[in-house]
A and B are shown apart, each in its own frame.
Chain A
Amino acid sequence: MSESARARSQFLVLLALREGGKHGYQIARHIADKSRGFFSISYGALYPVLHKLEQDGLITGAWETGGAAEGASAGEGQRRRVYTLTRAGHKALAEEREHQQRESAALRALMGKA
């Protein structure tokens, strides 16, 4: 995965976790559904991103038994790893959102003049 693709995936994950804790499959579904399929990432490809974010202290993972997080879909009694944003994650997300908004505005301005 290229550096820019990794940064984008990390931003998407942070965005997906803004509304509450989710496990890998839920994050992948959330990204695909909310972006109406524009962004699609397999939940297998999410694990490196999730684990790196966790290592960097931007998210935290906790084992929960099926049914605790949104969209309960795991089997009864099955443990799953639910990720939530940390304080540092919220801060990083806010900074990245601002950066993305500035970038989008600049692109829109450029495209408008073309």
Chain B
Amino acid sequence: MSAPAAPGPAPSTPRGPRAPQAPSDGFAPLLGRLERELDLPYPERSHLLEEIAADLHAAYAAARASGADDAAARARAIHELGLDAGAAAELSAVHTPALHRALRRLPAPAQGGFEVLAAALPLVVCFLYLCKEVPLMQFLRDGGFGSILVLIIGGFGLGLLTQRAVVWFILRDHSPRGLGKNTAAPLLLAAATLCAAVLGTATNFYVVLRAWSEDHLPDAHMRIGLRESLSTLILGAALATLIVLGHTALTAALRRLRPATA
């Protein structure tokens, strides 16, 4: 006796369940609710949902084979699933990294503080390394106030990216709070960095050229002044490029984990 066709979800991809395709997809609301409520990182959450979908399908088929009608078979399959809050919590304990579990026991401000610290630390180390290996401080001094402003805005953008990397790929926090960080803010900061760099450079050019045109600056010094002014633009372009590339890489990696909704 062949099992009747079940109203289960559409076949899933290795990365996660596809969106329901058939109007008779009777388990889609349940699976959608579970996806929202389960506190598991991706891709484990997608794999579990696919596993549940297959088992719901099997339970439905068994119920239909025993003579139940469509609605009764569907209800029985859902009843037999029995994935209660306790089981969901145990699943979360199995799959959530130990560091994330430990952090969740802390108050929200302490969690946020850890994330900021974890994000800032690699940037500070990188900055100190560059200061040691290349004449970075001299380069910054050449650009003047504009370079400092560019460094602050760009550093904030890079900090946002490292915070996301920590939250998404080290802590693997794919809760609504964690995934809620997936905004376009780094791109806006990249644009702001570039704007600040252009404005800073233009201002420095203006100051140098004005001094030169009023004969307060010899030609040789004017050339040096123009060259030094360019450091702000170089710094801004470099930081903005890094932010855009980093943002693109992070969102692509997140999309690979969670293709349907990331």
B236 → A minimal CB distance (Å): 47
Question: Judging by beta carbons under 8 Å apart, are B6 and A51 in contact?
Answer: no
Q: Name the interface residues of B71-113: CB closer than 8 Å to any CB of A.
A: 80-84, 86-87, 90-91, 93-95
Query: Given the known A-B contacts A25-B59, A47-B48, A48-B91, are A78 and B11 also in contact in the complex, defined by CB atoms under 8 Å?
Result: yes
Determine whether the beta carbon of B83 is less than 8 Å from that of A74. no
Number of interface residues of A (CB under 8 A): 26
Residues of chain A lying within 8 A (CB to CB) of residue B14: 63
Q: B83: nearest residue on chain A (CB-CB)? A: A44
Binds A, one of B50-58, B132-140, B222-230, B238-246: B50-58
Q: Is the CB of B12 within 8 A of A79?
A: yes
CB distance from A98 to the nearest CB of B (A): 27
Against B, the Cβ 8 Å flags (1 = close, 0 = not) of A91-105 are 000000000000000
Cα distance, A79 to B90, chains bound together (Å): 24
Count residues of B near A (Cβ-Cβ below 8 Å).
33
Q: Are A45 and B54 in contact (CB under 8 A)?
A: no
Given A25-B55, A48-B87, A73-B61: A81 in contact with B47 (beta carbons within 8 A): yes
Q: Note all chain A residues with C-beta closer than 8 A to B65.
A: 73
Let me know if B55 and A80 touch, CB within 8 A: yes
- A15: chain B residues within 8 A (beta carbon): none
B62 at the interface (CB under 8 A from A): yes
Q: How far is the CA of A1 from the CA of B85 in the complex (A)?
A: 11
Residues on A with C-beta less than 8 A from B94 are: 48, 51-52, 55
Residues of chain B lying within 8 A (CB to CB) of residue A55: 94
A8 to chain B, nearest CB (A): 14
**What's the minimum C-beta distance from A109 to chain B, rounded to whole angstroms?**
35
Q: Tell me whether B87 and A44 are in contact (CB under 8 A).
A: yes
B188 at the interface (CB under 8 A from A): no
A42 CA / B5 CA spacing, docked (Å): 23
Q: Which residues of A contact B6 (CB under 8 A)?
A: 75
Q: Are A75 and B57 in contact (CB under 8 A)?
A: yes
Given contacts A1-B90, A42-B83, A51-B95, whether A29 and B62 have CB atoms under 8 Å apart is yes
User: Is A30 interfacial (CB-CB < 8 Å)?
Assistant: no
**B210-232 interface mask toward A, CB cutoff 8 Å, 1 = contact, 0 = none?**
00000000000000000000000
Contact A43–B80 (Cβ < 8 Å): yes
User: How does the 8 Å CB contact mask read for A1-31 relative to B, with 1 for contact and 0 for none?
Assistant: 1000000000000000000000111101100
Q: Whole-angstrom distance between the alpha carbons of A43 and B62 in the complex?
A: 14
The answer to the question of B152 belonging to the interface, with a C-beta cut-off of 8 Å to chain A, is: no
Min CB–CB distance B74 → chain A (angstroms): 14
Instruction: Given A42-B80, A42-B81, A43-B81, output 10 extra A-B contacts at Cβ < 8 Å.
Output: A25-B59, A45-B84, A47-B51, A73-B65, A74-B57, A75-B5, A79-B54, A81-B47, A81-B50, A81-B54
